[in-house]
Amino acid sequence: MDPDSRRGPASAGLTLDPAIVMADPRWRRFAPHAEAVAARAVRAAGGAGAVVLASDRMVKRLNARHRGQNKPTNVLTFDSGDIVLALGVVRREARAAGRRPAHHLAHLVVHGALHLRGHDHSLPGDARRMEMTETRLLRRMGVPDPWRAARRPA
């Protein structure tokens, strides 16, 4: 889906809500307002075709089919403008980093949306620019810098 096709008339200043697909309802237990968090994050980063909140199994299949890697990954982006996230991977990462689930979800949606806009992190300079952009967008949402070490409770 073309991300620009989801926008309303520019002269009216209207923007349609992004499509959020709840493919795995367990996301609601992990992050109770997952759909709202994903929608807010994708809008903050400039939009996307759809955000799919999926299972690890679904992402593993997509990753194998489209990238030749037979394992789940946290987030996949597609030229169609879609972003797909794997619940189990995202949950494990959030727990390991001591981050709130909603904050990690917001970070990964922003990350995926930036990839759709041509950002990359394969080279150190590009990675630093992408991290700075992620941090700036997340700060506007009230989400802490994901690149700083999270404070763990004593």
pTM of the model: 0.85
What is the pLDDT, as a whole number, of residue 149? Answer: 64
Q: CA 153, 109, 17: angle at the middle one, nearest 5?
A: 125
As given in the structure block, the two tokens for residue 91 are 């949950």
What is the pLDDT, as a whole number, of residue 122? Answer: 83
Q: Which CATH class is domain 3-140?
A: alpha beta
The residue type found at 26 is R
- Between the CA atoms of 53, 56, 57 and 62, what dihedral angle is there, to the nearest 10 degrees? 70
The confidence band for 125, taking pLDDT boundaries of 50, 70 and 90, is confident
What is the pLDDT, as a whole number, of residue 48? Answer: 84
Q: Where are the domains of the chain?
A: 3-140
- CA-nearest of 90, 82, 83, 103 to 26 is 90
3-state helix, strand, coil in the chain (%, to 5): 50, 10, 35
